[in-house]
Amino acid sequence: MASINKEKLHESTMALLGHLNGLSTAIAIQHGVELGLFDALSQGGPASSGELADRTGLSERWVREWLHLQAAAGVVEHENAHRFSLAPESALLLVDESTPASMVGMFATLSALIDGFEHLPEAMRTGLGQPYDGHGDAGANAIERGTAPWIPVMIDEALPALEGVVGKLEAGGHAADIGCGSGARTLAMAQAFPNSTWTGYDTSQHAIARSQAKLADAPSTTNLSFKNPLQEPVPSDGSLDFVSFCDVLHDATRPDQLLEIARKAVKPDGTVLVIDIAQAPALVDKLTHPAAPLFYGFSLTFCMSSSAATKDGAALGTLGLDAPKLQELAGAAGFTRVRQMEVEDPFNAYYELRP
């Protein structure tokens, strides 16, 4: 047996303990969000465990233990371990789900992430992952909430930065959102450009069902429809002004075919927007990304799993679509121009593709 360096052993022990601490803290944060504990602490101000229990209608003893965990992790602040508070900066991350800074949606994915790991042993033996529908409606909801903060950035910053796209949409252009998921993003774009016509496409029955429900709750939005492209394909006649892929291509079994579909769908002067995880091309740099462990966790349970759900799947994974790879795929699909856009987003990169 190799000799053991006690200092390195201690460092490794503390690192692994940190991972376990993070796991329990993250799960408790998720439940704190769902139970309204963070919201009550933010809105009502500093509180004892009894006061917070009264605000939320929950058991004081359980609220007390939850507060102790959050205080130990540094998520909430405390006065002599008696009164607890949530800093406004933390509230921005954990209370207001509508802001781009919100991390609520990320924590909302944890249950689906943990469930996804149950399929990992089989996937590693067979080489096959599972499609997004394998995660059920809970998975569709998790992805919707996890990506919700990106919607304002896409509409307010990305679309105006695309050459001529906003003008075409305002003038009645035709657009498609391929891989629309639960439809929140597509609905927001259709409502932002009421003169345009939008179609959201997704192969997930759970996502399409959620999309249809959203549309039914927005009867004044008459310029939008949702379709399963396996039943009603994306048009291939070059009739669309704009096509978007948001956090889609790295999940696809055949991203090359999706880009070919988009190329055939857009007009000669049309535009395709690709939004995908921001990353460096070199693996050594990907591994040092602050969120790399989380990204690779999502990859094993969602992204690469979906992309490897068929024998011919590309299996790109969450960090598998960097700029050079997209350039390669887009060029093979017939696009002559790929421009990485300057959009301020800590998680995503934005690319403009032109025929």
The secondary structure element, H or E, covering residue 219 is: none
Q: At what angle do helices 37-44 and 6-34 cross, to 10 degrees?
A: 80
| pLDDT at residue 117 in the model | 94
pLDDT at 339 over 80: yes
At 137-185, the pLDDT tens digits run 988 988 898 888 889 999 999 999 999 999 999 999 999 999 999 999 9
Residue 338 clears pLDDT 90, i.e. is over it = yes
Torsion sign over Cα 187, 254, 252, 153: negative
> What does the pLDDT read at residue 173?
98
278 burial type by CB count under 10 A (0-12 exposed, 13-18 middle, 19+ buried): middle
Nearest to 198 by CA among 188, 209, 213, 208: 188
In this predicted structure, the answer to whether residue 126 has a pLDDT above a threshold of 90 is yes
The predicted structure's pLDDT at residue 147: 87
Compute, in degrees rounded to 10, the torsion defined by CA atoms 278, 282, 283, 285: -70
Rounded to whole angstroms, the Cα distance separating 226 from 310 reads 25
Output the pLDDT for position 290: 92
CB 275 within 8 Å of CB 244: yes
Query: Is residue 1 predicted with pLDDT exceeding 80?
Result: no
What gap in Å lies between CA 210 and CA 182, rounded to an integer? 5
Q: Is the pTM of this model over 0.85?
A: yes
Provide the percentage of residues in the chain whose pLDDT is more than 70: 100
- 176-235 per-position pLDDT tens digit: 999 999 999 999 999 999 999 999 999 999 999 999 999 999 999 999 999 999 999 999
Task: Walk me through the domains of the chain, giving residue ranges and CATH numbers.
Answer: 6-95 (1.10.10.10), 116-354 (3.40.50.150)
* Residues ≥6 apart with Cβ < 8 Å to 347: 150, 277, 278, 291
Average pLDDT value for residue range 256-277? 98
337's tokens? 């121009």
pLDDT given for residue 142 in this prediction: 87
- Give the separation between CA 138 and CA 143, rounded to whole angstroms: 9
Q: What is the CA radius of gyration of the chain?
A: 22
